[in-house]
Structure formats: C-alpha cells, structure tokens
C-alpha cells in the first residue's frame, strides 16, 4: 500500500495544479492591464473594468457568455479527452467544421421530410458522426501506420476546410452572402427558457448539452473499464499491451470520441438560432484552436474544462465591450496567451511532482528510505 508521505505528495500535486491555474489567470489579467496602461493610461482602468465586469453587467451579456462558452467547451473536451489518452488532438478545427456542415446540411435539406420533433436531434447526430469520422481517420493512421497524429490532424483540418467550402457551394449555398443557407427553426436547438431569462441574447439549451457531455466524458474516463484502458494506453502503451489491452482499438476510439465532441460543438453553434452561417472562406475555424487553451487551463479534466470554457468566453465578451474605450480586441488574445503559457507551467510542475512521488516508492508500494 502506498505510504502516507507519497499520498501527501500526490494530494499536494492536485492542490498545486488548481493553484497554478488560478495564478495563471491572475498573471494573464495583470499582463492585459499592463498592455492597456502602455497604450492609453487615461482609459486603462475603465477598459480593464469592462473586461472584468461586462459579462455580469446584465442578463443579456451573461447569456452571451453562455452562448460563446458552448462551442469552446466542446472543443476543449475534444482536446482534453484525447490528451488524457496520451495523444494530441490538434484537429478539433477540422472536426468542428465537418460537424457544423453536416448539421447545417441535415437542418436545411431535412426540413422537407424529417418530422419536426426529430429534425434538431437528427442534425445534432449528423454533426457528431461527421466529427467522429474526421477524428477517426488520424486515429486509424496512428494505430496501423504509426503516423504522427499531429501531422495527420493538421492535414485533416485543411482537407475539412476546403472540402466543406466545396460542398457548401454544391448543396446549401447562399450566393448573395457567400455562406451556407440559414437553418430553419425546426432544426434549431430549443431555447429551454433561456430566451426569457437572458432576454436579447443567443443563449439556448446547447450549454446544457455541453455540460452533460463533460459529465459523461468524466464518467467514461474515471468510472469505467473502457476509460481506464484509454488512459492506460496513454500512460504506458507497452505496459497496457502487456496487460492485454488492445492498443490500436484504444487509439482509434480516443480520436473518434474526441472528433465526435468537436463535431457536436460545431452543430451546437450553428443550430443555436443566432443567424450564424458557415462562410465560404479559406480560414480554419478558430473555435477548434480555442479548445486547446481551454483544455490546457482545465488541466485536461472534463469538469475543469467547463470552468475554463466559461472563463475564456467571459474574457472574450469583456473584450467586445473593451472596444468602447478605444482599445483593440487583440488585448484579450494577449491575456489568453499569457494564461496558456503559465498553465503549461502547471502541467510541468505536476509531472515533476508525480515523478518525485514515483521515485519515493519502491516496487511493491514500500516507501524508500523509511525502514
């Protein structure tokens, strides 16, 4: 059995992780304030105040925070879930775009023959399947050809972007606006009372779906044999293989589930009833890359990702209001970038403490140096 000293070390590592994430946020905000002071000292405090308070200034602003948080929580879950299995899913952007297109396609073309009660659910399912397919391909390449998943995911991002642009122009194209057609109301997510609570905002039941997805991801990773096998392959593939775990299957499943989460995120954004459409431009979806800092700040933990997603969305909403004081919205990008860097230090500290804890325990669970 593990000694008390080692248990204390591991417990301290968890506390240190949380503390490091909080410190990363504080340092990031301090860096943002410094930039504001250097650019316009007379209005810096007012602009910084907008960052800190705009999200809670009224119910509409709070509703917008929920709306913006929904897709980045999903892409954060996509990145974080895969990271827990020892892989790196940098393909969330392509998976997000594939899911968004599939949801819009079913939303627009399914209006004529799908029952009203099934229309939205079918569009969401299409988004998940498209994202899963886009994540599955790098997983198969990694499992059977040992092709680095980062390279495969980057290529799938661009394939997804260009293929989606092509398919939009052939299937659901609004040539006047150079974007996809608007999804009919029957395919939009239910408001679930959010329109009354957060009047004037785009908040909807999508945030509930995102939170439920995070809880399911947590249960899979922490409470099931399947999740244990996925994490075991991430920690040590050779040991997992020796224990009888199918390494290839675990890799494919991890990437597929990660892709499904990102694809669902795309569906939730474009079925929100906000009037947003997929534009035909050669730009990768930023929501996919925003999921990386969300996962990193949340320490790849599904529940932590919920809170980090809300934080990034809150800062983004504050960035819009900060422009009223003459500041460029890129200040928010600087703040988030600083938070990312210091969050990375949290992961390094965690790895160091865990390695020290392992060094203090001899085989068989007996502490070294404690006779």
Q: What would the two tokens of residue 276 be?
A: 């947003």
CATH of the domain at 96: 1.10.3470
Residue 139 has pLDDT above 50, yes or no: yes
**What digits encode the pLDDT tens for the residues 36-46?**
899 888 889 99
Per the domain annotation, does 357 fall within a domain?
Answer: no
As a whole number of angstroms, the distance between CA 328 and CA 313 comes to 17
Structural domains of the chain, count: 1
Per the domain annotation, does 30 fall within a domain?
Answer: no
Structural domain boundaries enclosing 271: 41-326
Helix (H) or strand (E) run with residue 142 in it = helix 116-145
Q: What would the two tokens of residue 146 be?
A: 């040992």
Helix (H) or strand (E) run with residue 258 in it = helix 247-270
Indicate the length of the chain as a whole number.
Answer: 371
The residue ranking higher by pLDDT, 161 or 31, is 161
As a whole number of angstroms, the distance between CA 332 and CA 318 comes to 8
What is the bridge-based pairing of β-strands 366-367 and 173-174?
Answer: unpaired
Residue 151, pLDDT score = 96
**What digits encode the pLDDT tens for the residues 145-191?**
999 999 999 999 999 999 999 999 999 999 999 999 999 999 999 99
Per the domain annotation, does 164 fall within a domain?
Answer: yes
As a whole number of angstroms, the distance between CA 223 and CA 232 comes to 14
Per the domain annotation, does 35 fall within a domain?
Answer: no
Per the domain annotation, does 198 fall within a domain?
Answer: yes
Per the domain annotation, does 268 fall within a domain?
Answer: yes
Residue with tokens 């709070």: 62
Per the domain annotation, does 111 fall within a domain?
Answer: yes
Per the domain annotation, does 176 fall within a domain?
Answer: yes
As a whole number of angstroms, the distance between CA 61 and CA 202 comes to 10
This prediction's pTM: 0.88
For residue 362, list its beta bridge partners. Answer: 366
């Amino acid at each position: 059995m593990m000694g008390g000293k080692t248990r204390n070390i591991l417990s301290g590592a968890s506390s240190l992780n949380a503390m490091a994430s909080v410190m990363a946020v504080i340092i990031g905000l301090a860096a943002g304030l410094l930039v504001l002071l250097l650019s316009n000292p007379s209005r810096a405090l007012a602009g910084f105040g907008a960052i800190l308070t705009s999200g809670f200034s009224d119910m509409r602003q709070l509703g917008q925070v929920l709306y913006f948080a929904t897709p980045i929580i999903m892409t954060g879950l996509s990145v974080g879930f895969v990271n827990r299995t020892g892989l790196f899913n940098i393909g969330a952007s392509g998976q997000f775009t594939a899911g968004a297109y599939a949801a819009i396609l079913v939303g627009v073309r399914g209006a004529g023959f799908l029952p009203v009660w099934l229309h939205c659910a079918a569009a969401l399912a299409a988004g998940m399947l498209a994202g899963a397919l886009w994540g599955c391909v790098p997983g198969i390449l990694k499992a059977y050809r040992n092709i680095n998943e980062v390279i495969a995911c980057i290529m799938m991002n661009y394939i997804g972007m260009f293929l989606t642009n092509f398919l939009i122009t052939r299937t659901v194209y609004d040539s006047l606006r150079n974007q996809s057609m608007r999804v009919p109301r029957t395919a939009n997510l239910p408001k679930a009372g959010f329109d009354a609570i957060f009047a004037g905002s785009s908040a909807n039941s999508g945030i509930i779906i995102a939170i439920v997805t995070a809880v399911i991801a947590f249960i899979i990773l922490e409470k099931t044999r399947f999740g244990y096998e996925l994490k075991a392959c991430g920690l040590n593939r050779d040991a997992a293989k020796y224990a009888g775990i199918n390494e290839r299957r675990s890799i494919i499943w991890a990437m597929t589930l990660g892709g499904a989460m990102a694809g669902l995120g795309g569906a939730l954004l474009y079925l929100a009833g906000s009037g947003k459409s997929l534009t035909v431009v050669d730009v990768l979806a930023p929501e996919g890359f925003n999921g990386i800092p969300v996962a990193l700040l949340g320490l790849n933990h599904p529940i932590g990702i919920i809170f980090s997603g809300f934080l990034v969305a809150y800062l983004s909403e504050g960035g819009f209001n900060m422009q009223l004081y003459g500041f460029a919205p890129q200040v928010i990008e600087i703040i988030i970038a600083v938070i990312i860097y210091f969050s990375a230090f949290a992961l390094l500290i965690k790895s160091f403490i865990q390695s020290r804890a392992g060094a203090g325990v001899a085989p068989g669970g007996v502490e070294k140096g404690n006779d």
